[in-house]
Amino acid sequence: MTNALPVLIYTDGSCLRNPDGPGGWSVVLQKGLSQVHTSGFEPNTTNNRMEMMAALSAMRLVRQRELRDPIVIHSDSKYVINGMTEWISGWKRRGWFTSAGKEVLNRDLWEQMHQESQGLRIQWRWVRGHAGHPGNELADQLARTAARQQKAFYKEWDGLSDSQDDLSQAPVKRNGSAIHLDLSLSDQVLAEHVRNALMAAKGKSVRFRQSA
């Protein structure tokens, strides 16, 4: 029996005037053929806090929906990724001070993120922003809209519509007659990505590139 495919989550934050401007955050979650898009806003914030709120809201959404599968959270914020994978243990050990002896900024959100992450099987993955990845691009659009309109949004689908991207597919970039597939996801879903890419190629050449 094969392992369950991971829940794919893309998060993003936006601040229209950083710092202390109107901001928004968003979460795009896909499990199988089901998707959830949600976003929120704050009138006075920073870009880093919106990136953090997106990741925090993603974990809360996972708990709300009682998902037990492995989770891959994608973010284009190295602040979020490094904070959760490298820095936070040292901050806690030093009483929420950095190695330079300064108080950790945004401690309130870091503490909540750490708490929400307990018991969840999360893989944190950085993705380059504005690089054509459908999940990241969608999250970016939702976050910017929330920041601009100062409105929250929630919608879910039980099956993908023709207008929706399947986020379980690796990004496909077309260049003339060739299709470039970015193999940045785990080996667990690699075979399915290859199959989808070959179907999309429709007789064109396919080039595989391993992401850094």
If the chain, 212 residues long, is cut into consecutive pieces of 10 residues, what is the mean pLDDT of each piece?
Answer: 79 96 97 92 97 98 95 98 98 96 98 98 95 93 96 86 63 44 40 45 48 42
Place of tokens 């970015």: 182
Comparing CA positions, the residue from 1, 4, 124 lying closest to residue 56 is 124
List Cα–Cα distances, 38 to 9, 35, 99, 130, in angstroms: 11, 10, 35, 20
Q: Judge if the upstream peptide bond of residue 70 is cis by omega within 30 degrees of 0.
A: no
Q: Which two tokens stand for residue 173?
A: 């970039």
Q: Tell me the per-residue pLDDT of 98-129, one tens digit each, with 9 for 90 and over.
A: 999 999 999 999 999 999 999 999 999 999 99
CA 69 and chain centroid, separation: 16
Known catalytic residues are 12-13, 51, 76, 130, 140
Q: What is the C-alpha separation between 59 and 99, in angstroms, rounded?
A: 27
What confidence score (pLDDT) does residue 22 get? 97
What confidence score (pLDDT) does residue 135 get? 93
What confidence score (pLDDT) does residue 58 get? 98
Residues in the chain: 212
What confidence score (pLDDT) does residue 1 get? 43
Helix (H) / strand (E) containing 36: strand 34-45
What confidence score (pLDDT) does residue 168 get? 61
What confidence score (pLDDT) does residue 197 get? 46
What confidence score (pLDDT) does residue 12 get? 98
List Cα–Cα distances, 63 to 59, 101, 119, in angstroms: 6, 34, 10
